[in-house]
Amino acid sequence: MLSRSLHRTRTAGLLFALTGVIVATTTVSQAASLPSSGASTRSPAQHVSCQTPAAGGVRCLSVWHRVNQGSLRNPNSVSAAAVAPPSQGLVPADIRAAYKLPKTGGKGQTIAIVDAYDNPNVESNLKSYRKAFKLSACTTANKCFRKVDQRGGKKYPEGDPGWGVEISLDVQAVSAACPGCKILLVEADDSSFESIGAAVNTAVRLGAKVVSNSYGADEFGGMIAIGKKYYTHPGVAIVASSGDYGFTAASFPAVLKTTWAIGGTFLKPTKKGGWTEDAWSYAGSGCSAYITKPAVQKDTHCSMRTVADVSAVADSAEGYAVYDTYGLGPDNGWIGVSGTSLSAPLISGMIGLAGNSVKAAQPSYAYAHRSGLLDVIGGSNGFCGGDYLCTGVKGYDGPTGLGSPRGLKAL
């Protein structure tokens, strides 16, 4: 186990022994220098969606950049007029092909998205997105899409373009993985632990079978009580991003035992028409200082809970194509988004597509069905002497967990 004092230390260059492996702690400021997994490094043109929150809050986990807008008629329009698909970025067909997903499924499954603040254009943008990729409509009118505040009503919080990107990403990623699933968007009043947690409870109360959480904060002692209050729902799969700062302190709520911790990969096409994945350079991984180890985790260099459990794409050469027209000014329209904020809603959608959310509610399900996962080998998210806690190795590793889905057997 990492000693608590060393685990929480964020000073660059500090080295400590971890079961005979020399490991360097990483910091948020070090993220840009993390080793590459085949991904291009983040460019100055990329925008961080959510800024660091005040103490007692979470931040969303995505960055975005403008992509080729193609023949978009009016990127500043909030209407759902027909738009041409972008010429860059991953699209729903790529997700289905890379993860060998069936074209149908998810009937009767409600996937909840929990985010902070409001994106007033989310439904219009979702309509444009699904129309651009010839997915069936998902609207309030046909009872496929529903947006509520953290109490389940219609007093939506104030708008926030940064969280607005996150909201657009989440609902569109779920759409790509499970076009037949219903989507429930619950918007918390703000990004505080209490508000975002209350939104999770509302999502479950309103019938969600899966709850996707694309946000996080460094783990802390009080999170155990918060986890019991907001993130413990038998029969409901609670899914959370592992974080975007590489090998560092484990991320809350992903680190909770009741939560599927979703790591990130870099997905790229092969010349023969297939796909390969490496551990993404920024995927969050870590060894908890507070949460005891689940019985299903057998890795040996961390005696406490290890993040992540499974993974999916967090980045590609041009990110994931998202259509967003709220508050981005001249960049309104198609943007490329990256982060474990992508992998979490994708896995959430896949769980919904499998229609097995009650049995697969606990992350232990994946450990018992790991033959349905592709072991991700290659890439690193930090400096740990090649140890599995920050390197994509054969078998379990921190950045990608057990691997990424191929089909739905593990879900």
CA 406 from centre of chain: 18
* Least confident interval from 23-32, 68-77, 118-127, 191-200: 23-32
Closest to 211 measured CA to CA, from 113, 312, 138, 144: 113
Query: What number is the average pLDDT over the span 250-263?
Result: 98
**Does residue 13 have a pLDDT over 70?**
no
Query: Which of 71-80, 123-132, 197-206 is predicted with the least confidence, judged by mean pLDDT?
Result: 71-80
More confident residue, 9 or 50: 50
With 70 as the cut, is the pLDDT of residue 359 above it?
A: yes
CA distance 395 to 47: 34
> CATH for 4-405, among 3.30.70.1380, 3.30.70.141, 3.40.50.200, 2.60.40.10?
3.40.50.200
The domain limits of the chain are 4-405
Contact of 112 with 184, CB cutoff 8 Å? yes
Report the percentage of the chain scoring pLDDT > 70: 86
Predicted confidence at residue 1, as pLDDT, reads 36
Question: What is the tens place of the pLDDT at every residue in 32-50?
Answer: 333 334 444 455 578 999 9
Length in residues, the chain = 411
Judge contact between 118 and 157, C-beta under 8 A: yes
Residue range 294-303: mean pLDDT, rounded: 96
Average pLDDT over all residues of the chain: 88
Share of the chain above pLDDT 90, in %: 81
Q: pLDDT-based confidence at 19, cuts 50/70/90?
A: very low
